[in-house]
Amino acid sequence: MPEPISPATIEFGARIRKQREKLVWSQERAADACRVHWTYLGRAERGVLSPSLSNILKIADGLQVDPAVLVKGLKPPG
């Protein structure tokens, strides 16, 4: 299983998971709302990928949250 990319991707994923659980949605239901594949959403939640801006916006829209909630305060890797 792939390792998380960075502390930022781990925290970003935790924020996605928290919002999804707040909505009481499965990954599959959330992925449908976000217009991404459920495996993509799962990988984002685990921090093993770094979504593009367009996918961050899709995820935020689907999870009914401002994108800033998902990214505010995250530090770049390195």
d(CA 14, CA 3): 15
Q: Which residue has the higher pLDDT, 77 or 20?
A: 20
Among 29, 24, 37, 23, residue whose Cα is nearest residue 65:
23
- SS3 label, residue 52: coil
Q: How is domain 7-63 classified at the CATH fold level?
A: 434 Repressor (Amino-terminal Domain) (1.10.260)
Domain ranges of the chain: 7-63
pLDDT in tens, 5-47: 899 999 999 999 999 999 999 999 999 999 999 999 999 999 9
pLDDT of residue 14: 97
pLDDT, residue 76, reads: 84
pLDDT given for residue 2 in this prediction: 82
Residue 1 has pLDDT above 80, yes or no: no
- 3 state SS of 3: coil
